[in-house]
Amino acid sequence: MLQLRPTCEHCNVALPPDSTKARICSYECTFCVDCVESVLSNVCPNCGGGFERRPVRPSKNWKGNNFLGADPASTVVKHRPVDVAQHQSFAASIANIPPEAR
Ligand SMILES: [Zn+2]
Ligand SMILES: [Zn+2]
């Protein structure tokens, strides 16, 4: 099951489960859209992959008990700000490759 992490790993802004600003990589590294675009250049600092919008888990029990009430968001904050200069040199050779070709 996808971990709905509570904040952006870089700037620590709150990303509640219904946020439309949450972005994740395939490993569920979680950042806000502002950091993905302005700091990370759509390159995950942990794996080099791209980001997609994090799906919103339904808040109501529409079907089969698959909803936030049964599977709540994570409350474990993972705040590991990136070293911006270091990330820029890491991302420089990757950012121009589309995520699907990395
Ligand atoms: Zn952020
Ligand atoms: Zn990643």
For position 25, what pLDDT does the model report? Answer: 98
| pLDDT per position as a tens digit, 11-50 | 999 999 999 999 999 999 999 999 999 999 999 999 999 9
User: What's the gap in Å between 93 CA and the centre of ligand 2?
Assistant: 16
Looking at the CA of 22, name the nearest ligand.
1
How much helix, strand and coil, in percent to the nearest 5, is found in the chain? Answer: 20, 10, 75
User: What's the gap in Å between 43 CA and the centre of ligand 2?
Assistant: 8
| pLDDT per position as a tens digit, 57-88 | 999 999 999 999 999 999 999 999 999 999 99
User: What's the gap in Å between 30 CA and the centre of ligand 2?
Assistant: 8
For position 4, what pLDDT does the model report? Answer: 98
User: What's the gap in Å between 17 CA and the centre of ligand 2?
Assistant: 19
Q: Please name the amino acid found at residue 66.
A: N
pTM of this structure: 0.94
- CA distances to 54, 55, 92 from 66, rounded to whole Å, are 17, 14, 40
- Residues 6 or more apart whose CB falls under 8 angstroms from that of 41 comprise 88, 91, 95
Q: Distance (Å, rounded) from C-alpha 4 to C-alpha 70? A: 13
